[in-house]
Amino acid sequence: MKRQLEENNTLENKNNILEDDKQKYKIYKTGDIILLDDEFNIGYDVESKKNIFTRHYANMNCPLCNEEIYEFISMGYDKDPENIEFEPTNIQNHLRKIHKDEFLTIKKSSIDITKKNCKLILIKKLIL
């Protein structure tokens, strides 16, 4: 009896899983607009330039056109430039200004200081 109950439960669970899978998949037609998340992981280097003051910059390449973009992150000797937190505003402005036809909006941007990595998630529009 226990085996029969277990088998029936597994069959019911498989049927529930199949119904859930059917709801997840959608049939698209030509002319439909699909929004996709496109994730870019951009590595950056920290450089320092000395003039009267020492200025620290993050140097990264645009993922779409490979142009070098510099981001000013701090000035002075108070912190190690490798541990400075910053927002990637220059690369966001570059993407909005030059590549505005290739995506809709920037969904999320974040900086991982330990890996020296900038993560950008762009929402793209795809027309079938």
pLDDT digits (tens, 9 = 90+) for 72-127: 888 766 667 777 888 889 999 999 999 888 888 888 888 888 888 989 998 888 77
Q: What is the pTM of this model?
A: 0.68
User: What rounded mean pLDDT belongs to the chain?
Assistant: 78
**What does the alpha-carbon distance between residue 118 and residue 44 come to, in Å, rounded to a whole number?**
7
Residue 1 pLDDT class (50, 70, 90 cuts): very low
Query: Residues in the chain, how many?
Result: 128
* Nearest-5° Cα angle at 48, 46 to 51: 160
Q: Is residue 58 within 8 Å of 74, Cβ to Cβ? A: no
Q: What was the pLDDT predicted at 47? A: 87
Does residue 24 have a pLDDT over 70? Answer: no
d(CA 127, CA 4): 50
Helices and strands (H, E) in the chain, number of each type:
2, 5
